[in-house]
């Protein structure tokens, strides 16, 4: 028996699930995890918060995650309230719910590649036709090019990634403004890496007033170092939150996840204290690679995309043989490396030599 022997949907035949290699190597810099472990004080706080929930696990959790949404609104600021926030098990689930509510059979979603490879997978899973629009050869995106492609295809959802994955570059705010002006449906701005952005980078959160079809998604997996906790969220007009609740599973966010996430948010200063250290290593990688003659994309994230000048699969394997795992994102001639600790940066640069 193989998957081809099963009566799966025809549009899923021949496709592959999302996933990065999970290999036991000395230095893992392939999945953009925050490099620093959760501080002891936060570990203790999360443990106490989870412990307090254990006796009542015979009861369902708060279906609306009201307290968590209020905490997330407080973190984001911008005048947001709990009514503007929605949370789920990672920003992938949030985006899947948005596609369930606003996409589906007979509808389309558009994104500008190369970008986050999960977006078209989520679209396929919800029966939404994916339109792969393109960035410039240097991975940039101008307002005029974005508008032209949106007007050509008239998608029901537009995905914008800022900072973009895998290139790392934040969008010019003028691109978001221009797309909002012409998009016929929903506009989703994925800001998973925003906390790593360089000073002066504008968040799309400031555009929410007056744009009821704009959605900004964020995650605690990256800068908060909460990848194992699985907590993503969106900020939008309250009507969007109401729409998403039409398709969410009942009690989708466990009491343990809610408690752990709230404890982490209460200690956000301690968790975000190492963001600057990650940004320092990112900028170090960019400067060092450029000094060696590599072509490198500008990065506002916790990773760097660089051109290897040949078959990226060969370089990926050679780095792995030297104990360093980076990411082959399927972009011919390019690899992506996560910015880690100073020691991990040393290991990467040494292995690349």
Q: Give the Cα separation of 237 and 214 in Å (integer).
A: 8
Query: pLDDT at position 18, please?
Result: 85
Q: Locate tokens 């408690």: which residue? A: 259
pLDDT above 80: residue 189? yes
Looking at 1-15, 88-102, 205-219, which range is the least confident one? Answer: 1-15
Query: pLDDT at position 144, please?
Result: 97
Contact 126, 97 (CB under 8 A): no
Q: Which of 204, 197, 200, 116 is nearest to 161 (CA)?
A: 116
Residues of the chain with CATH 3.40.640.10: 40-266
Residues of the chain with CATH 3.90.1150.10: 21-38+273-352
Contact 211, 238 (CB under 8 A): no
Banded model confidence at residue 223, pLDDT cuts 50, 70, 90:
very high
Helix (H) or strand (E) holding 122: helix 118-125
Contact 349, 323 (CB under 8 A): no
Q: Locate tokens 């620093």: which residue? A: 36
Query: pLDDT at position 15, please?
Result: 86
Looking at 15-24, 141-150, 281-290, which range is the least confident one? Answer: 15-24
Q: What percent of the chain has pLDDT over 70?
A: 100
Q: Which of 188, 186, 259, 269 is nearest to 229 (CA)?
A: 259
Q: How many CB atoms lie within 10 A of CB 43?
A: 13
Query: pLDDT at position 322, please?
Result: 96
Q: Give the Cα separation of 277 and 237 in Å (integer).
A: 34
pLDDT above 80: residue 326? yes
Query: pLDDT at position 34, please?
Result: 96
Distances in Å between the Cα of 205 and the Cα atoms of 44, 157, 307, 337 are 32, 18, 32, 28
Helix (H) or strand (E) holding 215: strand 214-219
Contact 87, 68 (CB under 8 A): yes
Q: Where would I find the H helices in 194-311?
A: 238-244, 255-266, 268-271, 275-291
Looking at 6-20, 228-242, 255-269, 333-347, which range is the least confident one? Answer: 6-20
Tokens of 291: 């000094």
pLDDT above 90: residue 19? no
**Which class is 21-38+273-352 in CATH?**
alpha beta
Q: Which of 100, 70, 104 is nearest to 233 (CA)?
A: 70
**Is the omega angle on the peptide bond into residue 163 within 30 degrees of 0, that is, cis?**
yes
* For range 23-43, the mean pLDDT: 95
Contact 101, 243 (CB under 8 A): yes
**40-266 CATH:** 3.40.640.10
Query: pLDDT at position 212, please?
Result: 97
* For range 217-243, the mean pLDDT: 98
DSSP E strands: which ranges in 66-185?
85-88, 108-113, 129-134, 157-161
Q: What percent of the chain has pLDDT over 90?
A: 93
* For range 258-269, the mean pLDDT: 98
Helix (H) or strand (E) holding 145: helix 143-153
User: How do 186-190 and 157-161 pair as beta strands?
Assistant: parallel
Q: Give the Cα separation of 110 and 273 in Å (integer).
A: 36
Query: pLDDT at position 20, please?
Result: 80
Query: pLDDT at position 21, please?
Result: 81
């Amino acid at each position: 028996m193989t998957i081809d022997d099963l009566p799966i949907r025809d549009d899923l035949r021949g496709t592959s699930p999302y996933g990065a290699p999970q290999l036991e190597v000395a230095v893992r810099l392939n999945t953009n995890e925050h490099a620093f472990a959760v501080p002891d004080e936060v570990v203790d706080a999360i443990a106490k918060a989870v412990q307090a929930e254990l006796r009542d696990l015979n009861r369902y959790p708060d279906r609306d995650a009201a307290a968590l949404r209020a905490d997330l609104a407080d973190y984001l600021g911008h005048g947001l309230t709990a009514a503007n926030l929605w949370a789920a098990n990672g920003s992938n689930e949030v985006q899947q719910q948005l596609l369930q509510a606003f996409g589906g059979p007979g509808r389309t979603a558009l994104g500008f590649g190369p970008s986050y490879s999960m977006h078209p997978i989520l679209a396929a899973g919800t029966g939404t036709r994916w339109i792969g629009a393109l960035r410039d050869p240097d991975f940039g995106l101008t307002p005029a090019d974005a508008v032209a492609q949106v007007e050509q295809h008239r998608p029901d959802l537009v995905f914008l990634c800022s900072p973009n994955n895998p290139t790392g570059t934040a969008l010019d705010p003028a691109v978001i403004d221009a797309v909002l002006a012409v998009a016929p449906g929903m506009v989703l701005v994925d800001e998973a890496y925003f906390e790593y952005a360089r000073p002066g980078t504008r968040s799309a959160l400031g555009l929410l007033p007056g744009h009821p079809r704009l959605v900004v998604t964020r995650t605690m997996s990256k800068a908060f170092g909460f990848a194992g906790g699985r907590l993503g969220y969106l900020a939008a007009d309250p009507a969007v939150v109401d729409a998403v609740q039409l398709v969410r599973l009942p009690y989708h966010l466990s009491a343990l996840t809610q408690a752990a996430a709230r404890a982490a948010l209460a200690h956000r200063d301690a968790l975000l204290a190492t963001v600057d250290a990650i940004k320092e290593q990112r900028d170090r990688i960019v400067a060092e690679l450029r000094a060696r003659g590599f072509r490198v994309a500008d990065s506002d994230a916790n990773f760097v995309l660089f051109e290897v000048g040949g078959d990226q699969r060969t370089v990926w394997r050679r780095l792995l043989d030297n104990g360093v795992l980076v990411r082959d994102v399927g972009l011919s001639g390019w690899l992506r490396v996560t910015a880690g600790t100073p020691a991990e940066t040393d290991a990467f640069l040494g292995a690349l030599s």
